[in-house]
Amino acid sequence: MALILAFNIFTLFLVYGISEGQLRTGFYAETCPQAESIVRNVVRDAVLSNPNTAAVLLRLHFHDCFVEGCDGSILIDDGTPNAERHAFGHQGVGGFEVIEKAKTEIEAICNGVVSCADIVALAARDAIALANGPSYEVPTGRRDGVVSNISLADDMPDISDSIQQLKAKFLNKGLTEKDLVLLSAAHTIGTTACFFMTKRLYDFLPGNRPDPAIHPTFLEELKAKCPRSGDVNARIAIDEGSERSFDIHILHNIRNGFAVLESDARLNDDQTTKTIIDSYFGLLNPLFGPSFELDFVESIVKMGMIGVKLGSHEGDIRRTCTSFN
């Protein structure tokens, strides 16, 4: 009898331990059933008024997850220059006001229940769907971080990183070379500032020569869009010809010398990452062979689990996303 009781307590503890200890879909089904639909509506309105907001929200999720885990640390704006969001590696990241709008609407209904970290992950998912990308469920239950420090963003992947550095930075977050390829394919939507193009177009090789990986006709187009002494804030599509639609077109471009970003181009130089890209263009794809959309979903769900804070003892639920409680 005592043994059975002990066993039951043990199972109870185990079940409780699991529900406290990991993300799960529908985490807010009882505590705030409207949470996901509120995020979806706020994201939809934001994307309707500015279509590039979809890309901005997707990028925000990546930058949140790569520093201190997916914990909303990038959202903190404490007025000091030491806040993580001011890091060089986060240059151009935005979408903060969309997250705050969703948070405000959610707080009005369910006070202190839904984390900002989850809102970021949900918003990225909704943004992808609005760009005609794959739909997927987001496991939730992330808690908000209590640290924001600019130097913690020093290791963000950089546009000029070698393929070895890119692989290492992803591996460091538990992400494989395959994840690197698929997550880089998020560049299927959105834009870059010419700022990030200058080196690649004008100072890549000695003698002011460009990156030889750029297709010759594309090089002329890129130079026309981002002239040497032009406006570094001018913005150009990253997935040339398909920047509003979430699709495999980006990998097609990368394979053919039409990558815009330097880090994307490196994926086609390296044998391992190139083989991964090529696997989506087999003769029998997409009927047989791997599915770009399904594999992307697997990778982004995985990215959304980096360093998450869980349960009631880690992190907290912020009242506003830009400041600690």
Ligand X SMILES: *[C@@H]1O[C@H](CO)[C@@H](O)[C@H](O)[C@H]1NC(C)=O
Closest contact distance (angstroms) between CB of 91 and ligand X is 19
Of the residues 63, 86, 90, 313, only one is catalytic, namely 63
| 41 counts as binding ligand X under rule CB under 6 A | no
151 binds, among ligand X, ligand HEM, none (CB under 5 to 8 A by kind): ligand X
For the question of residue 63 being annotated catalytic, the response is yes
| 22 counts as binding ligand X under rule CB under 6 A | no
Closest contact distance (angstroms) between CB of 113 and ligand HEM is 27
Nearer of residues 36 and 64 to ligand X, judged by Cβ: 64
Nearer of residues 80 and 160 to ligand X, judged by Cβ: 80
Q: Is 300 left (phi over 0), alpha (psi -120 to 50) or beta?
A: alpha
53 binds, among ligand X, ligand HEM, none (CB under 5 to 8 A by kind): none
| 285 counts as binding ligand X under rule CB under 6 A | no
Among residues 4, 30, 49, 151, the one that binds ligand X under rule CB under 6 A: 151
Q: How far apart are CA 164 and CA 158, in angstroms?
A: 12
Tokens of 122: 């949900």
Closest contact distance (angstroms) between CB of 285 and ligand HEM is 22
Report residue 293: phi and psi, to 5°: -65, -50
Instruction: State the binding site for substrate.
Output: 157
**Size of site (CB under 6 A) for ligand X:** 4
Instruction: State the binding site.
Output: 64, 67, 69, 71, 73, 84, 157, 187-188, 239, 247
Q: Which residues contact 9 (CB under 8 A, 6 or more apart)?
A: none
Partnered with residue 316 across adjacent β-strands are 144
Cis peptide before 206 (omega within 30 of 0): no
Closest contact distance (angstroms) between CB of 73 and ligand X is 12
Q: How far apart are CA 279 and CA 267, in angstroms?
A: 13
Q: How far apart are CA 76 and CA 323, in angstroms?
A: 5
Rounded (10°) angle between helices 271-278 and 177-184: 60
| 82 counts as binding ligand X under rule CB under 6 A | yes
Nearer of residues 151 and 271 to ligand X, judged by Cβ: 151
Q: Which residues contact 185 (CB under 8 A, 6 or more apart)?
A: 248, 250, 251, 292, 296
Cβ neighbours of 129 (radius 10 Å):
18
The residue ranges that bind ligand HEM (CB under 6 A) are 52, 55-56, 58-59, 62, 92, 157-159, 166, 183-184, 186-187, 189-193, 196, 238, 261, 263
H-helix segments, 154-215: 163-171, 177-184, 198-202
| 149 counts as binding ligand X under rule CB under 6 A | yes
- The catalytic residue positions are 63
Residues that bind ligand X (CB under 6 A): 82, 149, 151-152
